[in-house]
Amino acid sequence: MPRHLAIVMDGNGRWATKRFLPRVAGHVKGVEAVRTVVEACALRGVEYLTLFAFSSENWRRPAEEVSLLMRLFVTALEREVSKMHANNIRLKVVGDLSRFDVKLQEMIANAERRTANNTRLTVTVCANYGGRWDIMQATSKMVAAHPGVTEFTEEQLAEHLAMAFAPEPDLFIRTGGEERISNFLLWQLAYSELYFTDTYWPDFSIASLDAAIASYQSRERRFGRTGDQLPEKKT
């Protein structure tokens, strides 16, 4: 089982357009898929589930769609946090939250505080997140923490990344047919197994999740070594 699963939830708009619905209907439906996947991950013993909900670049969308996405975020927090807490799930939100409404920032802080000691599964929502933003903010913090120092190690940078609390993702999934990273966890995906599916995010089901996990389980992770050097060599 992957310890850490990271997902680019893509295809909401096309899911809706295909049904002659407004794009926002796809986002609403996408929240249901989030619920399904969170529950399934908790049951399967995944320890970290990280969801790309809004990228640094998504501000470029029409203002109406951006504000609907923000409202949806607020409603989802209002509705889901108690349930997550009851299920021993910890919620984290990472990204440049300073650009969000103060009320939303407070809700996020409260939800994180309330679920902070939960241990079953950590769900991280990446909101106004960008991999380049993350590397830059970590670099600034690292430099500030070591005045006068000009040479650093990878570990010194990694400890300031927004997701320093989690191991690097074992499995990356992107739904919706596009095969790109779109500025998600650039540093942390260095050795993740990548899985792409044409399924639009609102259609992503427990069976879709299990297919992705089965694909992951069939891979040989070599981390630069040869296959023969691996401890449990497959026959």
58 is catalytic: yes
Q: Which does 205 bind (CB under 5 to 8 A by kind): ligand IPE, Mg ion, none?
A: none
Written as one string, the DSSP assignment of 122-181 is EEEEEEEE-HHHHHHHHHHHHHHHSTT-----HHHHHTTSTTTTSPPPSEEEE-SS----
Q: Print the binding letters for residues 152-191 with ligand IPE: x by CB under 6 A, - otherwise.
A: ------------------------x-x-x-x---------
The minimum distance between CB 201 and Mg ion, in angstroms, equals 9
Which residue of 6, 37, 50, 52 would you call a contact of ligand IPE, by CB under 6 A? 52
Q: Is 8 in the site for ligand IPE (CB under 6 A)?
A: yes
Which of 12, 58, 128, 203 is labelled catalytic? Answer: 58
Residue numbers 5-44 binding Mg ion by CB under 5 A: 10
Other C-beta atoms closer than 10 Å to the C-beta of 162 total 23
Total number of residues that touch ligand IPE (CB under 6 A): 17
Residues lying near ligand IPE in the complex (CB under 6 A) are found at: 8-14, 52-55, 58, 69, 176, 178, 180, 182
